Amino acid sequence: MKKFDKPILVTRPYLPDLEMFKAGCEEIWKNQWLTNNGPMLNKFHSEMANYLGVSENNIALFNNGTLALELGFYAMGLSGGEVITTPFTFVATSHALMRIGAKPIFADIDPVTMCLSPEAAEKLITPQTKAIVPVHVYGNCCDVEGFARLGEKYGVKIIYDAAHAFGARLNGKSIAEYGDMAMFSFHPTKLYHSCEGGLLVFKDASLQQKLFDLRNFAIHSETECVDVGTNAKMNELQALMGLLCLKDIDKLLDWREKIHKIYLESFKGFEDVTYLDLSLNKAYCPILFKDFNTRERVYKDLKEKCNVYARCYFYPLLTDFAPYVYAKNTCPVAEDIARRVLTLPTYYGLSENDAHNIALNVKEIVGK
């Protein structure tokens, strides 16, 4: 078994060229503008729209993904209603709903994609349902057609938590174009980042001014405060980091693809591990074991014997956490998968050889 000299974490933030970052800082210093719609943010806004292939009127940037979600949900009028979502995600998805006074109703996931199942979601739709919030978990694509059908049939909004899915494309267009709204997280643990940051992409351009107001305390003009907003503005340094990482996005996607291929190849024909080949952007590399005990053993031995810090994303399930226990034991597929899944390290800079050795270690531990 290979023990790595230095710890290998599940991910590592990408750092763009330092000289370019310094040059960007010089520009910021000259502008003497640090936040509140500065020139760097405006440039980032334009380049982001251009990258996604959407109009500049249909996006808004925020200081993190959680507040982007929260304000997106609020602007869509979800407060006071029920929203059907998945328990197999990071807590921010349902925290953002709870914090604006919407009630998360948890439906089970599809056993293959691990994303919310439209069939399971449909069974829980009531007159109180205002929206469905599926998550493109790991960059795996939700059944976008199934959800579009539900949206039309029941008149409910489809809002994707696409935190993991930046750079993902489907049918020749960005995944951002599916649903009424999609949120991307630019946290440094993600494939692409802006130190911290979040992005909303929405169909209805009339939401943009509302979101711009909400991210700035709902101050609409010098003399008007139009709602109860918050401070969710992206600052100039974040925008600079976002711009520089965006220049390198193809390189970041290609590297993830390369690591994915190593894992795929290494686990081929190894029956005790299912390597999931579904992610559109290869943001994460999840594997499934046959049972909970094997997953626990591999997680522990990788850490203690190999210096490899894989993570059990997403375990426990949201419905095991205090704010959501009202829905405990209602999603058997998600419960089963959460107990068997492990996400392996992947990031720009992880060598193919290291990925190969990580996979060998996993196989050796399973075989013991």
Ligand X SMILES: Cc1ncc(COP(=O)(O)O)c(C=O)c1O
Query: Residue numbers of the site for ligand X (CB under 6 A)?
Result: 64-66, 89-90, 92-93, 135, 161, 163-164, 185, 187, 198
Indicate the SS3 state at residue 344.
strand
Q: For residue 202, give the nearest of 246, 234, 157, 154 by alpha carbon.
A: 157
Residue whose CB is less far from ligand X, 8 or 200: 200
- The smaller minimum CB distance to ligand X, of residues 135 and 317, is found at 135
| C-beta of residue 149 within 8 angstroms of C-beta of residue 297 | no
Distance CA 97, CA 80 (A): 10
Q: How far is the CB of 348 from ligand X (least distance, A)?
A: 18
Question: With respect to ligand X, which residue has the nearer C-beta, 185 or 346?
Answer: 185
Separation of alpha carbons 322 and 260, rounded Å: 35
Do 98 and 125 touch, CB atoms closer than 8 A?
Answer: no
Q: Which is nearer to ligand X, 157 or 164 (CB)?
A: 164
Which SS3 state, helix, strand or coil, does residue 342 take?
Answer: strand
For the CB of residue 189, give the shortest distance to ligand X in the complex, in Å. Answer: 7
At its nearest, how many Å lie between ligand X and the CB of residue 319?
15
Least distance between ligand X and beta carbon 92 (Å): 4
96 vs 240, beta carbon nearer ligand X: 96
Closest approach of ligand X to the CB of residue 93, in Å: 5
Strand partners, 84: 105, 132
CB of 179 to ligand X, least distance (A): 15
For ligand X, the closer CB: 156 or 162 = 162
Distance from C-alpha of 297 to C-alpha of 310, rounded to nearest angstrom:
12
Give one DSSP letter per residue of 28-88, joined into a string. HHHHT--SSS-HHHHHHHHHHHHHHTS-GGGEEEESSHHHHHHHHHHHTT-TTSEEEE-SS
| Shortest Å, Cβ 41 to ligand X | 17
Q: Which amino acid is located at 315 in the chain?
A: Y
Which CB atom, from 120 or from 182, has the smaller least distance to ligand X? 182
Q: From the centroid of its chain, how far is CA 32? A: 33
Measured at CB, which residue is nearest to ligand X?
Answer: 65
Burial class of residue 293 in the structure, from the number of CB atoms within 10 Å of its CB (0-12 exposed, 13-18 middle, 19+ buried) = exposed
